[in-house]
Structure 1
Amino acid sequence: MSAETVISLAENGVWTVFFVAGPLLVVALVLGFGVAIFQATTQIQEQTLAFIPKILGVLASLVIFGPWMLSQLVHFTYQILNNLHEFIG
């Protein structure tokens, strides 16, 4: 296995993780920012107020984006397993 192959595999893996985790992280970021602005304007400093909307938003986005995320992971795994003979020999 050459260095270029290892770098290519690592790069594809990092991009796959980035694209799969991206939607969930963006939803959590936007909801966290929105709740923080709401807490700052109303001066309510309850920790569960920040935690519950993020959990519900991430779960909802997991339901929405879950099939796409799974297909991306299956596609990446298929590429790795399909080209396994090139990596070994």
Structure 2
Amino acid sequence: MMRKVLMEAMMLSAPLLVAACLVSLVVSLLQTLTSVQEQTLTIVPRLVVVFVVTMATLPWMVHRLVSFTVRMFTDFHRYLG
């Protein structure tokens, strides 16, 4: 049961983590090329992209989480014994 929960958590967080990593990579590359080392340049774009990706994938996340919860409650008798 814990393996299923952890897999579901990874699947739900993957789009956000991938987006944040890609934005961080691009911003770091731009900072290196332009020699601008401003700390807010790394945080603000990442927050904006994570927010946009969250809003874009929120219906998919809610649907997946609800179906996972229903599956866990309907198969809960398997985990009691």
Output the TM-score relative to the length of structure 2: 0.93
**Aligned structure 1 segments of 4 or more residues deviating by more than 3 angstroms:** none
RMSD between superposed Cα atoms in Å: 1.0
Measure the CA separation in 2 of the matches of 1:41 and 1:34.
11
| Structure 2: unaligned runs, 5 residues or longer | none
What percent identity do the matched residue pairs reach?
A: 30
Measure the CA separation in 2 of the matches of 1:40 and 1:49.
12
| Structure 1: unaligned runs, 5 residues or longer | 1-8
In structure 2, the partner of 1:39 is 31
> How many pairs align?
81
**One-letter identity of the residue aligned with 1:78:** V
Structure 2 counterpart of 1:84, from 70, 76, 79: 76
Structure index of larger Rg: 1
Relative contact order, higher structure (CA 8 A, sep 6+): 1
**One-letter identity of the residue aligned with 1:43:** S
In structure 2, the partner of 1:23 is 15
Deviation (angstroms), 1:60: 0.1
